[in-house]
Structure 1
Amino acid sequence: MDFFFVEYRDPLVGLIILTILIFVVAVANYAWKAFANKDEEQKLEKFIKKFEIDNAHKDLLRNERLSFGNLSFLADIFTKSGEFEKATQIYLIALEKSKDKNEQEFIFIALANIYFKAGFLERAKEVLLQALKLRPRNIEALKLLKIVYLKLKAYKENLEILECLFELGEDVEKEQEFIKALNLQTLNLSDEEKKEKLLELQIKNNPMLGRLVFEKYHLFIEQNFNHIYDLLYKEKKALNLQNEEFLEFFYALGFIQEDKIPNHFVFQNSNFKMFKILRDNSFKTRLEFSYRCMECKNIMPLFFYHCPMCYEFNTCKIICEVKNDEMC
C-alpha cells in the first residue's frame, strides 16, 4: 500500500498535477466566457432587430469611419429636434457596433429616454431592464424605470425599484409610503377598508401622502396648511381654526365673523389680506393657484405629486395670487 502512494509524496508530481488542474480550469473558464459572450451577442442582436426599422441610410451609418462619439452626437441632435425615430435608429446602429459595456449602457439609457419622451413606455421599460443587466446599481436607470412603472400604474414593481434605491442610499421613504397608498386604491376593497389601511401608513411628516388622504377621502389629520390650501379654497365651511394659518385663510374667505377674531389678530399673508380688503369693498376677486417645482423651477397649472418635467417627488410648491373675477 505504501508503494502505491509513493508518487504522491514527490513534490514534483504534486506540482505537475496542480499545473494540470490550473490548466483545465483556465480552459474551462475560457470556453465558458466564449460561450457567454456569444450568447450575449446573440441576445443583443435579437434586441436590436426587435426595435429596428428599415432605413435606406443604415449602410452609411455603419461605416467604420463613424465612431461611437460621432453616432452619439448625431443621435443627440435628432433627439433635441424631436426626430425620435431617426435618433432611435442611430443609437441602435451604435449599439450594434459597440463592444464596450460602458458605451452600451449609455446607449440603453439614451434609448430609454427617447422611448419615454415619445410615450412608448413598454419599450422604455424593456430597454431600462437591459441597462440594469449590465449594471444593476445604475441609479439613473432605476429612477427612470421608477417613473415608467408609475405611469404604467405598476405600483408593486415601483415599490421594488424604490427598495433598490433605498439600499443605494437614496431618500425614498416618503415616496414608498405614497406609492403604497396608490397601490391601495387599486385593491378590491371598500372605501372604509381603504381608509383604515391608509391611516396605518406613515402620514406624519409626509406632505404628499397627507394631501392625497385629504383629497381622496377628505380626512383631516393635521396636514400642513401650505400643502392643501388650494383644496381648502373649495371648502364650504372652516376647519382647524386653532391653527393661525387656517384661521387667517378662512377669515379672508369670509367664513368667520369679525367678533370671532382675536383682538391681536394680524394678517401674515399679503395675498389673503388683499383678498379680504377687496371683497369687503365689493370688488370681484378670486384666488388663483399655480404650482412650481422647487427642483426644476417649472410652473404648472395643475398640482403634481411627481413633477411632470423632472419627475422628482414632493417638490411642488403652491403659489397663490389674487385675480380680478368678473364672473363673480
Structure 2
Amino acid sequence: MDFFFVEYRDPLFGLIVLAALVFIMASSHYVWRIFANKDQKSKLDRFVKKFEINSTHQQILKNANLSIENLNFLAQIFTKSGEFEKAVGIYLIALKKTNEPSQKEFIFFSLAQVYLKAGFLERSVEALLNALKIKARNKESLKLLKIVYLKLKDFNKVLEVLECLFELGENIYTEKALIKALKIQSSPKDEKEKIKEILALSKDNEYILRLCFLYYKDKITQMPKFENVIDLLNECKTPLNLEDEKYQEFFYAKNLSYKSIVIKNQKLKILKILNDNKINANLSFTYVCNNCKNQNHLFFYYCPFCHEFGTCEIYYEVKV
C-alpha cells in the first residue's frame, strides 16, 4: 500500500504522478466535450427536422448571409401578422446558424412563444425544456412553461415549476393554492368533498373564493370581496350576502333588493336611477392587466399577454 503514498517516494516521482493524473483528467474532459457537443448537435438536428417545413423562402434564408438579429426581426414580423408557420421556419434556420448558447436559449424561448400562440402546446413545452437545458435558472422560461402546462391542464407539472420558481426567490403561496384548487375542481371527487378541500385552501385567497363563488355560490358561507366578483354578481337573479353593504347596494341598484338604502357608489346610483325610470340599463365589464395594461373581455388569473399572475383588475360602466 505504500506505493500509493507520494511522501514515501522521491519528490520527482510524485510530480510525475501528479502531471500524469492532470493529463489523464484533461484528456478525458476533452474527449467528453467532443462527444457531448456531437450529442448536442445531434439532438438539435433531430429537433429541427421534427418541425422543419420545407418552402422556397426558407431555402433562400438558409443561403442568405443574415445575422441572428435579422432572422429574429423577420420572425417577429411574421408572428405579429399571424403567419406562425413562417416564423417557426425562420427560428429553426436561426437555430442551425448559431453555436452561441445564449442565442440558442433566446431562439428556443421565442420559438416556444410562437408555438403557444399557434396552439401547439406540446411543441412549446419541448422548446422551453431545450431552453432550460441551456440555462436552468431562467425565470422567464419557467414562467412560460408554467402557463403552457396550465393550458394543458397538467396541474402536477405546474406545481413542479412553481417549486422551481420558489427556489429562485418567487412568492408562490397564493398561486400554488389556486393551482391546487383548480386541480381539485377538475378531479372526479364528490362535490361536497371538493368544496371542503377547496375552502381549506381559501384562507385570505380571493382567487380561490372567486373560484368557489363561480361554481358553488349557493353552497358556501365565506364570500369574496365585492370588487372581485361584481361581474359574476351581474348574472345573479336573486340577491345574496346582503349583510355586506356593497352587495346590498348592488342588488338594490339592480332592483333585486327592496330595502331602501342610500347608494354611495356613483355608478350604481346611475344604474338605479335608470332602472327606476324604466330604462333598460346594465353593466359592461372590461378586464385590465395592471402589469402590462392590456385589456381583455374575459376574466383571467394569468394575463394572456404578459402571463403574470394575479394582475386582473375589473372595470365596469353603466350601459343602456
Query: What is the TM-score of this pair, normalised by structure 1?
Result: 0.89
* 2:294–2:305 CA contact under 8 A, matched in 1: yes
* 2:79–2:114 CA contact under 8 A, matched in 1: yes
* Residues 86 and 200 of structure 1, relative CA distance in 2, 3 Å threshold: same
1:268 corresponds to which residue? 264
1:18 corresponds to which residue? 18
* 2:6–2:14 CA contact under 8 A, matched in 1: no
The one-letter code matched in structure 1 to 2:292 is: C
1:244 corresponds to which residue? 245
The separation in 1 between residues aligned to 2:248 and 2:7, in whole angstroms, is 97
Per-residue deviation, 1:144: 1.0
2:228 corresponds to which residue? 227
User: C-alpha deviations, 1:226-284, integer Å up to 9, x for none?
Assistant: 0112222333433333322122222222343346x4xxxx4221111111222223332
Alignment of 1:178-193 (within 5 A): 178-193=178-193
Alignment of 1:1-328 (within 5 A): 8-63=8-63, 65-201=65-201, 203-218=202-217, 219-258=220-259, 261=261, 266-324=262-320
Over aligned residue pairs, what C-alpha RMSD do you find?
A: 2.4
61-70 or 105-114: bigger deviation: 61-70
User: C-alpha deviations, 1:133-184, integer Å up to 9, x for none?
Assistant: 1111111111111111111111111111111112212233211111111111
Per-residue deviation, 1:7: 9.7
Per-residue deviation, 1:319: 2.0
The separation in 2 between residues aligned to 1:68 and 1:278, in whole angstroms, is 60
For the residue of structure 2 that corresponds to 1:86, the secondary structure is helix
Per-residue deviation, 1:58: 4.3
Name stretches of at least 5 consecutive residues in structure 2 with no aligned partner.
Answer: none
Per-residue deviation, 1:288: 2.7
* 1:7–1:13 CA contact under 8 A, matched in 2: no
Per-residue deviation, 1:8: 4.2
The separation in 1 between residues aligned to 2:293 and 2:184, in whole angstroms, is 31
Query: What is the TM-score of this pair, normalised by structure 2?
Result: 0.91
For the residue of structure 2 that corresponds to 1:193, the secondary structure is helix
The separation in 2 between residues aligned to 1:248 and 1:60, in whole angstroms, is 66
* 1:207–1:224 CA contact under 8 A, matched in 2: yes
For the residue of structure 2 that corresponds to 1:62, the secondary structure is helix
For the residue of structure 2 that corresponds to 1:320, the secondary structure is strand
For the residue of structure 2 that corresponds to 1:287, the secondary structure is strand
Per-residue deviation, 1:31: 0.9
* Residues 88 and 284 of structure 1, relative CA distance in 2, 3 Å threshold: closer
For the residue of structure 1 that corresponds to 2:316, the secondary structure is strand
* 1:8–1:14 CA contact under 8 A, matched in 2: no
The separation in 2 between residues aligned to 1:255 and 1:212, in whole angstroms, is 24
The separation in 2 between residues aligned to 1:322 and 1:35, in whole angstroms, is 67
* 2:198–2:208 CA contact under 8 A, matched in 1: no
243-252 or 105-114: bigger deviation: 243-252
The one-letter code matched in structure 2 to 1:206 is: N
* 2:213–2:223 CA contact under 8 A, matched in 1: no
Name stretches of at least 5 consecutive residues in structure 1 with no aligned partner.
Answer: none
Per-residue deviation, 1:191: 0.5
Higher Rg: 1
The separation in 1 between residues aligned to 2:281 and 2:229, in whole angstroms, is 21
Give aligned pairs, total. 317
Percent of aligned positions with the same letter in both sequences?
53
User: C-alpha deviations, 1:78-135, integer Å up to 9, x for none?
Assistant: 2233222222112111111211100100110111111111111111111111111111
The separation in 2 between residues aligned to 1:16 and 1:246, in whole angstroms, is 85
The one-letter code matched in structure 1 to 2:246 is: E
The separation in 1 between residues aligned to 2:2 and 2:236, in whole angstroms, is 98
The one-letter code matched in structure 2 to 1:243 is: D
* Residues 297 and 73 of structure 1, relative CA distance in 2, 3 Å threshold: closer
* Residues 134 and 6 of structure 1, relative CA distance in 2, 3 Å threshold: closer
